[in-house]
Structure 1
Amino acid sequence: MRERLLSLLLRTKRPPLAAGVVCGALCIAAEALLSLFLERVTSGDFLGGIYLLGVLLVSVVWGLGLGLATLAGSAVAFTYFNLPPAWSLSSETHWLWTPLPIFLLVGLVISSIAALARSLNIQADDRRREADLAAQLAHILLRTKDLEAALPPASRLLSRTLGAPDLELRLEEIPEEEDGEALPLTENGARVGTLVLPAGVPEPVRRRLRERMAPSLEALLRAARDREKTEVVLASSRDEIRRIAREQAALRRVATLVARGISSAELFNAVAFEMGSLMEADHVAISRYDPGHVTVLGSWSWRDAGTEKVLPLGSQWPLNEVSVSSAVLETGRPMRRVDYAQSVGKIATWAKKMGVTSAVGSPVVVDGCLWGVMIIFSSTREPRFEGGEERMMDFTELVATAISNAQARAELAASRARVVAAADETRRRIERDLHDGAQQRLVSLGLELRAVEAGVPPPMTELRGRLSHAVQGLTGVVDDLRELSRGIHPAILSKGGLVPALKALARRSALPVELELASVPRLPERVEVAVYYTAAEALTNVVKHANASVVHVTLGMAGAALRLSIRDDGDGGADYGKGSGLIGLRDRVETLGGRLRIMSSVGAGTSLSVTIPIVMTPIVMVPTRDDADRDAAGP
């Protein structure tokens, strides 16, 4: 309550002067009555102090001038009513020696103190208002992203608070106005803005703006400009971080596809899509350099509809025209083109049809040689693809890695296929040489011995017995040789296919073999040979190492793939690295594009499964003359 009363008394705006005169007169009258009343009940030594209350009130509320006037009136009333002789302005002694000088001196001091308190209160209130104004201006100027847009509301707030209409804050330097004043706002010698003061602004307001408000405005504008620049830098940094994050995510996706070893067409289309999305391009093409032209192997366009592409896969584009692909081929570096209007030819015709205005190409280098080019196209007239050459390099390197990996895989597969084919051919040649060479000679030798045995005279029974024993031994050698040749390349596989061949393997196995063989058509010879030798090797391993009691063999078709499964109930623990021949089987199966899997936990037996895709039309094997001779051959 006391603080509220003080605030009311010391308020900045003074009440009307007439109200002050009336208040002073009323105070003097009330003080005179109070002093007359108190004079009757007590001594009058302190009665002069009563008149000082009105002086204090008027000085605080209306200032020093009216306070001094009230002091003069109070002195007259004090002299008239309270100094002897009473009710008179004269005194028995000289007035200088009366209490009146003391009263005047004390009243003057009180009036001065009250006026000073009022002045200080006004200054404090001005400072508070200026601080509030600076805080509000800071709220407006420092929380905006566009400083130009924040200046009008800041100008209106400044005008309303200072009571000076049409004040205006500007950033640019403006010439001195005829009816006003342009107050420059500088910070460390650099102009940060201008405060335009229109004509008619009171001089105290002008002085207040120049002396006290200008430094705050300068600091605020400088901070606002710095914040605006910081916001721009941060926004640019955020955009750059988002762009880098998008690029890294796209690169990770492409790298994952490369690691998975997907087909080249799928990879190229995926890279084209990622590149087009990142660069906001209209069309993207990945092409391979061929003699005289480039061939499109992957493409993407926002105009693509279903399987129809704006840049068809396999389409060829000439290199003897002015184009990005020919420029990249000539220089081996990224190239850019921004004008197709004056060009002629197949590429220029396509570009004009699609509305292409600019293109950027980056070379694809595989193993140090220029393999192809990736090109992004834009149909807008504005400059596009800033830094596109550098951003494309990461993707072209991944494409080059994928191409190099694909070539390495193709060369490895071809090498493995050649090794397997050479081994099969060697096996067939050995089997043929045994059949046509040693086996036929032994058969002939056996016939000759039979003839000699038949010509021995009856009395020579001992010689006849020896010849008969030799013929029997020779017959055993022929049987062993025939069995050996059948193991090298069984005739039953060539004549009957996989099912009869697997049945023969099961009959010859030292362990019981349970067969579950579906009807399988005749397949390419290399597939049948691979499956046969995989089963033969697996059965041999079971007999030698597994300590099993039974083997289960399953064969059948699953869609477009042939599946073979061999399971046993042995010790398990089979491993590629133990020299069990499994590596050779895996190489043979993978040469055909198949997959061989082994599950062999210790104590839980071994399960071997083979899946081979059948991509060729099944063939019908007709027994050859050599096969018939081989089956008819005998001692």
Structure 2
Amino acid sequence: MRARLLSLLLRASRPPLLWGILTGAACVAAETFIAFALAQVAPSTALNVVYLVGVLVVAYLWGMGLGMIVALASAGVYDFFHVPPLHEVTVFSSWTWVPLLVFLIVGVLVSAAASLMRSLVIEAEERRREADLDARTARLLLRAEHLRAALPVVARRLAQGLGLPFLAIELGPVGDDPRHTALPLTDDGAGIGTLVVPAGLPAAMMRRLRERVVPSLETLLVAARDREAIGNALAASRDELGRIAEEQAALRRVATLVARGVPPTEIFGAVAREMGRIVNADHTAIERYEPDRTVVLVSSWSSSDRGPPPPVGSRRPLRDTGLSALVLRTGQPGRMTVEEGATGELDGWAKDKEITSAVASPIVVEARLWGVTIAFFRAREPQPEGVEERMRDFTELVATAISNAEARDELAASRARVVAASDETRHRIERDLHDGAQQRLVSLGLQLRMAETAVPPDLPRLKEQLSHTAEGLTLVLEDLRELSRGIHPAILSKGGLGPALKMLARRSAVPVDLQVRVDGRLPERVEVAVYYIVSECLTNVAKHAQASLVCVEVDAAGDRVTVAIRDDGVGGADPARGSGLIGLIDRVQALGGTIEVTSPAGRGTTLTAAIPIGKG
């Protein structure tokens, strides 16, 4: 009941006039009965106030005109029932018309006040509803991910809130249509859209749309547009940050491989894979330029099993119209599409008929054009301008890896040459000593012995001197032989690694537990390296370790020989302090092997070396 009463009081349209006439008559009758009841306790001149209630109600609901009519009727009834002489109309026969005139004036004022109050109440209600509608519209627009998708929903809500059969919001101008009225939506004079409403709306509704709905909608559209732009910018920033983070992670993984010094082939594979994923390529390739105008495929990657690339190591001639030839001529990054004449190279490389374009970046190693990286794409749209820049970051890592590998190879070759030259020098000195000095000393010793036997018996002192000289010469020969064995053991060349190590164990000042598991002969350089490792370690143990036992294990299994030497001495050995271990490290690394020394103080020393047999 209360809700229906509020709806009646706040309804913009007035109730039917007949209802107003009946309501006015009912109010006058009710007020008359109330006035009779109050006449017992109140003066008759004050009863006219009772009749103003009906005037107020009728004027509020049906307007000032019907309110004035009710006021006249109330004045006549009041004069007839309450102004002496009773039951007569005396307004024209006495001075009672003065209070009646005052009553009529008050009634007119009450009617005007009621009408004004009604208009104000209705306007306030409309403003409240508009505020609620604006709030709902703002929530819809400002929460929408896409402004254009939210406009139909907003238009339906506005049409319902305004009581219109149709309403549309368009971003941009609309064409002329006699059935519709277009209200432009602007932002500082620039058009942002159009509000489309049915044609022929009442002037009050059109004024309401222009004065209140359009400005509010313009503000909301501008805010929603700005919010969408900011959201898109933030999303783009997030995507860009994510891309950068992913790219940096990929570069870090490849850089880690480069820093670890893994083989270049493994780095090439990682670069092809990581670069392909970063630039969203369908295939990637790393090729090396050859002097005969051919390129060799050193690594490749594909995002799917369609169109497998040629095998690694395959060679193909450079095409003058191809992308690899373009990079070779210019030394700069480049890109090509199938339509630009690169059909043969693109389809011929990836075996993928859907490839439409490719982007290449040169690999420059120490100012020398070494090769090229190529990314192949199936997408029809052009690739972004930043693809070459992103590929260049990976090619720089490839160049670093190649440079490091070449430097390592040169260092290893240099070490190998130094070790080989040293071994050759040792071998030549040992051979010269054996074939030259030792033989001459043996010959001199025999001559002295012959001279000793030829001395006459009457010269005993001369015979004694000759004997003493021959014995001294024999001692010198033994020292020379010992020195010769230290320079290059002849037993190693003749008998192999096992007998040579057994000789070292027998000559060691510290007891040696020797275990040699070698079948057959090893390459000479490997045998020499193992021999000197064991010899140097036994010498160091005798001089510094204060050990009671040395365990030596030599095991040739597979493609490498492993040497492990352990003692129970005082430990504390440090290759950095200039001991003979540095020479051993250089010798082992020159053969592509590894050596590790563990020597905690008080817990002995352990040396472990692994030497590839194939590189001997």
TM-score range, shorter chain: over 0.9
Report the equivalent of 2:203.
203
Report the equivalent of 1:362.
361
> Which sits farther off after the overlay, 562-571 or 477-486?
562-571
3-state SS of the aligned residue for 2:338? coil
Which residues of 2 match residues 237-386 of structure 1 at below 5 A? 237-291=237-291, 292-302=293-303, 304=305, 309-339=308-338, 354-384=353-383, 386=385
Counterpart-to-counterpart distance in 1, 2:262 and 2:421: 29
C-alpha contact (below 8 Å) 1:10/1:60 kept by paired residues: no
The amino acid that maps onto 1:366 is V
C-alpha contact (below 8 Å) 1:520/1:556 kept by paired residues: no
The amino acid that maps onto 1:598 is V
Report the equivalent of 1:497.
496
Q: Which runs of 5+ in 2 are unaligned?
A: none
Which residues of 2 match residues 423-438 of structure 1 at below 5 A? 423-438=422-437
Deviations 1:146-174 (A, max 9, x none): 33322222222222222222222212213
3-state SS of the aligned residue for 2:51? helix
> Which sits farther off after the overlay, 568-577 or 34-43?
34-43
C-alpha contact (below 8 Å) 1:365/1:400 kept by paired residues: yes
Question: Identity across aligned pairs (percent)?
Answer: 57
C-alpha contact (below 8 Å) 1:453/1:468 kept by paired residues: yes
The amino acid that maps onto 2:530 is V
Closer/same/farther in 2, CA of residues 453 and 352 from structure 1, 3 Å limit: closer
Report the equivalent of 1:518.
517
3-state SS of the aligned residue for 1:47? helix
Counterpart-to-counterpart distance in 2, 1:385 and 1:500: 70
Deviations 1:395-418 (A, max 9, x none): 111110110010001001111111
Report the equivalent of 1:625.
none
Closer/same/farther in 2, CA of residues 348 and 54 from structure 1, 3 Å limit: closer
1:151 and 2:151 aligned: yes
Report the equivalent of 2:79.
79
Counterpart-to-counterpart distance in 1, 2:151 and 2:346: 54
Counterpart-to-counterpart distance in 2, 1:161 and 1:219: 18
Residue 195 (structure 1) shift: 1.6
C-alpha contact (below 8 Å) 1:513/1:550 kept by paired residues: yes
> Which sits farther off after the overlay, 146-155 or 429-438?
146-155
C-alpha contact (below 8 Å) 1:321/1:345 kept by paired residues: no
3-state SS of the aligned residue for 1:173? coil
Closer/same/farther in 2, CA of residues 269 and 441 from structure 1, 3 Å limit: same
Counterpart-to-counterpart distance in 2, 1:192 and 1:385: 31
Counterpart-to-counterpart distance in 2, 1:531 and 1:451: 44
> Which sits farther off after the overlay, 318-327 or 188-197?
318-327
Residue 263 (structure 1) shift: 1.9
The amino acid that maps onto 1:483 is E
3-state SS of the aligned residue for 2:199? coil
3-state SS of the aligned residue for 1:46? helix
C-alpha contact (below 8 Å) 1:10/1:61 kept by paired residues: no
Counterpart-to-counterpart distance in 2, 1:554 and 1:401: 39
Cα RMSD for the two superposed structures: 2.5
Deviations 1:378-429 (A, max 9, x none): 2343323543222211111111011001000100111111111111111111
C-alpha contact (below 8 Å) 2:64/2:108 kept by paired residues: no
C-alpha contact (below 8 Å) 1:556/1:564 kept by paired residues: yes
> Which sits farther off after the overlay, 186-195 or 501-510?
501-510
Report the equivalent of 1:217.
217
Q: Which runs of 5+ in 1 are unaligned?
A: 618-635
Which residues of 2 match residues 113-192 of structure 1 at below 5 A? 113-192=113-192
Q: TM-score, normalised by structure 2?
A: 0.93
3-state SS of the aligned residue for 2:90? coil
Report the equivalent of 1:15.
15
Counterpart-to-counterpart distance in 2, 1:340 and 1:352: 17
Figure out how many residues of one structure are paired with residues of the other and give that number: 614
Counterpart-to-counterpart distance in 1, 2:465 and 2:4: 148
The amino acid that maps onto 1:610 is A
Residue 558 (structure 1) shift: 4.5
Report the equivalent of 1:565.
564
Residue 10 (structure 1) shift: 4.4
Closer/same/farther in 2, CA of residues 268 and 349 from structure 1, 3 Å limit: closer
Residue 332 (structure 1) shift: 0.8
Deviations 1:82-130 (A, max 9, x none): 2222222205631343x32333333333333332222111111111111
Report the equivalent of 2:610.
611
Closer/same/farther in 2, CA of residues 180 and 346 from structure 1, 3 Å limit: closer
The amino acid that maps onto 1:413 is A
1:542 and 2:541 aligned: yes
C-alpha contact (below 8 Å) 2:56/2:67 kept by paired residues: yes
Q: TM-score, normalised by structure 1?
A: 0.91
The amino acid that maps onto 2:87 is W
3-state SS of the aligned residue for 2:46? coil
Deviations 1:58-96 (A, max 9, x none): 333334333333222222222222222222220563134
C-alpha contact (below 8 Å) 1:294/1:318 kept by paired residues: yes
Report the equivalent of 1:533.
532
Report the equivalent of 2:583.
584
Report the equivalent of 1:69.
69
Closer/same/farther in 2, CA of residues 431 and 263 from structure 1, 3 Å limit: same
3-state SS of the aligned residue for 1:374? strand
Closer/same/farther in 2, CA of residues 185 and 440 from structure 1, 3 Å limit: same
C-alpha contact (below 8 Å) 1:164/1:201 kept by paired residues: no
3-state SS of the aligned residue for 1:392? helix
Which residues of 2 match residues 481-492 of structure 1 at below 5 A? 481-492=480-491
The amino acid that maps onto 2:412 is A
Counterpart-to-counterpart distance in 2, 1:157 and 1:67: 38
C-alpha contact (below 8 Å) 1:10/1:121 kept by paired residues: yes
3-state SS of the aligned residue for 1:105? helix
C-alpha contact (below 8 Å) 1:530/1:589 kept by paired residues: yes
Counterpart-to-counterpart distance in 2, 1:71 and 1:378: 91
C-alpha contact (below 8 Å) 2:592/2:615 kept by paired residues: no
Closer/same/farther in 2, CA of residues 343 and 337 from structure 1, 3 Å limit: closer
3-state SS of the aligned residue for 2:40? helix
Closer/same/farther in 2, CA of residues 343 and 123 from structure 1, 3 Å limit: closer
Residue 345 (structure 1) shift: 6.5
Deviations 1:243-283 (A, max 9, x none): 22222121112112212222222221221122222222232
Counterpart-to-counterpart distance in 2, 1:26 and 1:49: 17
3-state SS of the aligned residue for 1:548? coil
C-alpha contact (below 8 Å) 2:32/2:78 kept by paired residues: yes
Counterpart-to-counterpart distance in 2, 1:25 and 1:558: 124
Counterpart-to-counterpart distance in 2, 1:304 and 1:459: 105
Closer/same/farther in 2, CA of residues 31 and 213 from structure 1, 3 Å limit: same
Counterpart-to-counterpart distance in 2, 1:511 and 1:296: 57
